[in-house]
Amino acid sequence: MSDDALFHELDAYLQTVKQHLADKQRRRLSRQLAAGLRQRQQKRINQQKNPDGTPYAERRRATRRTQGGIRFIWNNDVRELRNWRNSRGRGGRMITGFDVERGALRSFFRADIERYLSIDINKTTKTTQRKDKMFRRLRTGRFLRMSVQSDGVEVGFSGQAAAIASVHQYGEMERMGRSRVQYPARELLGLSEADVDWMADTIVEFVQPS
């Protein structure tokens, strides 16, 4: 059954029930449905699954190219980076690598480097893929909001969070720097048949408590 059919089926059921409830009861039921529905959406996002149960498309693998070592003069000081690579920041092109003196990963704008002392151009290529779950922040209550009225409920995103979620929900393109990136569709929100069954059971239990 399609999402549209599920929505229409549930809406028709709600309209029937609503006629037999007082306004205060409708609000109580709406609040219960909204909280439960948000929790189910959050659980599914945490499981990295679409509403139909299929897993989210995997993250794109990133290819990182690095080079041996580089020594240069910066701010009248000799700096040495290991495992360095060219990178880019908002202020322009940079060199990023492990700073031997500071013992940490650092970046230097190339325009600020006074003179290069030695450069090891031996290159290595490594393909990596992030293992942490996607949309960890979006699924929190701060961004996945619920709205309750006596005649209905809404669970979703707003503002900038909605714009970000929409790109992934529908598999849209987004500008990243000078290029455009096509994202695969990953449905953060949606009703499954199990969701509709749960809501129907919740309504029946509310109207006819055991």
| Residues 141 and 178 reside in one and the same domain | yes
Q: Which domain holds residue 75?
A: 62-128
What's the confidence (pLDDT) of residue 91?
84
Q: 0.75 cut: is pTM over it?
A: no
| Residues 120 and 72 reside in one and the same domain | yes
| Residues 144 and 200 reside in one and the same domain | yes
- Structural domains of the chain, count: 2
As a whole number, mean pLDDT of residues 12-27 equals 80
| Residues 18 and 117 reside in one and the same domain | no
Instruction: Choose the final residue of a domain: 128, 150, 167.
Output: 128
Q: Could you report the per-residue pLDDT of 89-145, keeping only the tens digit for each? A: 888 999 999 998 888 999 999 999 999 999 887 777 777 778 899 999 999 999 999
| Residues 203 and 135 reside in one and the same domain | yes
10 Å CB burial of residue 24 (0-12, 13-18, 19+) is exposed
What's the confidence (pLDDT) of residue 47?
98
Cβ pair 151, 18 in contact under 8 A = yes
In whole numbers, what is the pLDDT of the chain averaged over residues?
A: 88
Secondary structure of residue 42 in the 3-state scheme:
helix
Confidence label for 66 from pLDDT (cuts 50, 70 and 90): low
Question: At 75, which CATH number?
Answer: 2.40.10
Cβ pair 154, 146 in contact under 8 A = yes
